[in-house]
């Protein structure tokens, strides 16, 4: 950082000085045309003003040019060493050949612009020649082959779009806070309008859901690790389309993925070949796995459908059916998993009571 600041100061000072010198020379040439006499007060003020203008223009140009230089230098970091060496060699060879070929023209009259033009053409041809021959250079300098391949490129991060249901759900804020999602999060303007409409509903339940959705968006905006943007670029003539269909269409147009927990949005996006991140599927994948023979403690909350069964629930909502636990409602018991079943509604675990051996003996 200190080196960069030093280079910035040197560059700005140099370009500013060049601006002052160029303006001074231009002022001296312009003074006779404007009939400003040198040595007089008016002439002195005129030259000071010209120098100040030139210095200011040079300073502003230096600020703009230095940023561009830093940008191109940073991009050069991605260029392989072989390409850099080939380009440098091409510049030297092209410039040398051009200057030697135009040496008989001398340095007077039209010779100067012709030699400059020949030098530029020579540099372009030289760089083109060496870049085309760089694969042959590897055989001469094998160490240059240890570079980044040309076709290696950083894949752009895919943007994510949220539908109304996943915003109201609220879990998206916790997921984003963990930094598991990368890339910008786009909130279409029509999704915001739907949330506002729900938040202003006369129905108390809908109003609470809408306000919760707006609160979740504020939480997302407050996260430093989240890049949340409002997307407002949708054809007005297509605003009559249903919100979910509009969301899928915008996501496909932007090449974004949709984060949802809604089955219809999930299927609609798949039909349109739009990538979908379903939070319900993520939650199901993260549920703890209980293998037959493992023990766990659960609270029996109600009777089961079959005689003698009791029903309990794990912290993640997984239903546990416990045999011979009908009369233990409200009690926390130790159970042993016997089997599990995956259904459309979720996962079910079947277990037996683990009875205390001391009680059994008594």
Same domain, 138 and 172: no
**Distance from C-alpha of 266 to C-alpha of 59, rounded to nearest angstrom:** 56
Q: Let me know whether 208 and 276 are in one domain.
A: yes
Q: Is 141 left (phi over 0), alpha (psi -120 to 50) or beta?
A: beta
The helix/strand/coil state of 59 is helix
How does pLDDT run across 77-98, given as a tens digit for each residue? 666 666 777 778 888 888 888 8
Regarding whether 229 and 304 lie in a shared domain, the answer is no
Mark whether 185 and 112 lie in a shared domain: no
Residues paired with 319 in a beta bridge: 313, 348
Domain boundary among 20, 49, 78: 78
Q: In this structure, is residue 263 part of a structural domain?
A: yes
Band the pLDDT of 334: cuts 50, 70, 90.
very high
- In a 13 Å sphere around the CA of 362, the CA atoms on its Cβ side amount to 5
Q: Is 289 within the bounds of a domain?
A: no
Question: How many angstroms separate the Cα of 117 from the Cα of each of 101, 120, 277, 333?
Answer: 12, 5, 57, 91
Give the total number of structural domains in the chain: 4
> Is 37 inside a domain boundary?
yes
Same-domain status, 261 and 203: yes
Residue 290 lies in a domain: no
Answer yes or no: do 172 and 276 share one domain.
yes
Distance (Å, whole) CA 337 – CA 180 = 32
What residues make up the domain containing 84?
Answer: 80-150
69 and 100 share one domain: no
The last residue of a domain, from among 284, 313, 342: 284
pLDDT of residue 333: 93
Top-confidence residue, 30 or 212: 212
pLDDT band at 152 (very low <50, low <70, confident <90, very high): very low
Q: What is the DSSP string of 116-157?
A: HHHHHHHHHHHHHHHHHTHHHHHHH-GGGGSS--TT--PPPP
Query: Is residue 150 pLDDT above 50, yes or no?
Result: no
Task: Tell me if residue 320 falls in helix, strand or coil.
Answer: strand
Q: What is the mean pLDDT of the chain?
A: 79
Which pLDDT belongs to residue 301? 93
Span 202-219, mean pLDDT? 90
* 155 in a structural domain: no
Residue found under tokens 């279409």: 188
Same domain, 182 and 275: yes
Same domain, 168 and 276: yes
Closest to 260 measured CA to CA, from 171, 189, 162, 159 = 162
Dump the DSSP string for 275-296. Answer: -EEEHHHHHHHTSPP--TT-EE
pLDDT above 80 for 242: yes
Closest CA to 272 of 293, 245, 307, 294: 245
Neighbours of 270 (CB within 10 A): 12
Same domain, yes or no: 202 and 317: no
Q: pLDDT, tens digit, for every residue of 100-127?
A: 888 888 777 677 778 788 888 887 887 7
322 located within any domain: yes
Q: pTM of the full predicted structure?
A: 0.46
Task: Kindly state whether residues 33 and 73 are assigned to the same domain.
Answer: yes
* Banded model confidence at residue 337, pLDDT cuts 50, 70, 90: very high
Helix or strand (DSSP H, E) at 176? helix 171-177
Among 54, 78, 102, the domain-final residue is 78
Is 244 domain-assigned? yes
- The stretch 21-42 carries a mean pLDDT of 77
Does a structural domain hold residue 3?
A: yes
Mean per-residue pLDDT for 222-239?
A: 73
pLDDT > 70: percent of the chain: 82
- Greater confidence (359 vs 40) lies with 40
The CATH number of whichever domain residue 351 belongs to comes to: 2.40.50.140
Report in angstroms the alpha-carbon separations of 40 from 25, 28, 52: 18, 13, 18
The better pLDDT of the pair 141, 196 is held by 196
């Amino acid at each position: 950082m200190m080196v960069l600041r030093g280079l910035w100061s040197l560059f700005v000072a140099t370009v500013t000085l060049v601006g002052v010198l160029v303006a001074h020379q231009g002022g001296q040439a312009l003074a006779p045309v404007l009939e400003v006499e040198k040595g007089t007060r008016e002439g002195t003020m005129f030259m000071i003003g010209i120098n100040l203008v030139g210095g200011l223009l040079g300073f502003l140009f230096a600020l703009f040019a230095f940023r561009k230089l830093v940008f191109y230098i940073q991009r050069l970091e991605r260029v392989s060493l072989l390409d850099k060496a080939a380009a440098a060699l091409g510049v030297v060879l092209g410039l040398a050949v051009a200057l030697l070929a135009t040496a008989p023209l001398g340095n007077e009259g039209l010779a100067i612009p012709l030699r400059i033009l020949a030098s530029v053409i020579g540099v372009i041809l030289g760089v083109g020649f060496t870049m085309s021959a760089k694969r042959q250079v590897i055989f001469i300098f094998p160490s240059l082959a240890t570079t980044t391949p040309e076709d290696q490129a950083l894949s752009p991060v895919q943007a994510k779009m949220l539908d109304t249901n996943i915003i109201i759900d609220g879990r998206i804020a916790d997921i984003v806070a963990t930094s598991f999602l990368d890339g910008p999060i786009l909130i279409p303007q029509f999704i915001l309008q739907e949330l506002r409409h729900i938040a202003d509903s006369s129905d108390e339940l809908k109003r609470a859901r809408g306000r919760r959705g707006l609160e979740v968006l504020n939480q997302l905006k407050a996260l430093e690790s989240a890049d949340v943007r409002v997307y407002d670029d949708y054809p007005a003539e297509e605003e009559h389309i249903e919100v979910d269909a509009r969301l899928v269409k915008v996501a496909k147009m932007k090449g974004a993925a949709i984060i949802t927990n809604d089955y219809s949005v999930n299927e609609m996006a798949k039909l349109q070949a739009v990538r979908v991140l379903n939070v319900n599927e993520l939650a199901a994948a993260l549920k703890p796995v209980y293998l037959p023979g493992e023990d766990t403690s659960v609270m029996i909350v109600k009777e089961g459908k079959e005689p003698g069964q009791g029903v309990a629930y794990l912290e993640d909502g997984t239903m546990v059916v416990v045999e011979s636990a009908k009369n233990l409602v409200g009690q926390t018991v130790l159970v042993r998993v016997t089997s599990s079943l995956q259904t459309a509604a979720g996962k079910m675990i079947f277990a037996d009571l683990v009875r205390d051996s001391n009680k059994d003996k008594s």
